[in-house]
Amino acid sequence: RTHWYSLKQDGNPMDQTVYISKNNMATFRCPQCGHAKTADVSQYAASDKKISVNCTCACGHQFRCRLEKRKQYRQGSDLPGKFTLLGTNGPEDTGLAKVVDLSTTGLKLKLTVPRTFPVGAKLLVEFRLDDRKRTPIEKRVIVRNVSGPYVGASFHPNDPDDPALGFYLMR
């Protein structure tokens, strides 16, 4: 009996990413034949754990997908930049980092030297887009998670939207 997917937690970073829609549906597409199937994944939508599913297409190809609950698509990037930890008495720490993914609501940094920022810490992140103009971006962010050298952060809610960033992400 062929099944379309089965639960397996803590997936491999090479897994295909599948986004969960607002109505808890996900569309799985076979990388071999292109066949797509949409399935109800509401039993996984509330989980705080990383969820990967093993998929077996009707063509017989087996592949893995990681279910992603984030609200905004994140575009992979490799943009060198720097960060400054903002404290109540001014800058407390600075360092070099790469922006490894980017969305309209936040970003993920890979620090050259891992730090243990507390969740909620405020950073100033500066980098240049790899667009034709090499547009400089300077954003205040709030740390949401830290895992080794990686820092996930959301843009500060009081900062205005950046049109250059929006156009960059639409390309």
Q: Looking at the structure, tell me whether residues 100 and 162 fall in a common domain.
A: yes
Regarding whether 93 and 24 lie in a shared domain, the answer is: no
Number of domains in the chain: 2
Same domain, 83 and 54: no
pLDDT of residue 48: 62
* Domain ranges, residue 46: 5-68
Based on the fold, state whether residues 85 and 162 are members of the same structural domain.
yes
Residue 158 maps to which CATH number?
2.40.10.220
52-103 pLDDT, tens digit per residue, is: 888 888 888 888 888 877 555 567 789 999 999 988 776 688 999 999 988 8
DSSP character string of 76-138: EEEEEEEEEEEETTEEEEEEEEEEEEE-SSEEEEEESS---PPTT-EEEEEEE-SSTT--EEE
Average pLDDT over residues 154-167: 83
Residues 164 and 98 placed together within one structural domain of the fold:
yes
Question: Could you tell me if 120 and 61 lie in one domain?
Answer: no
Whether the model pTM is above 0.85: no
Q: Which residue has the higher pLDDT, 5 or 100?
A: 100
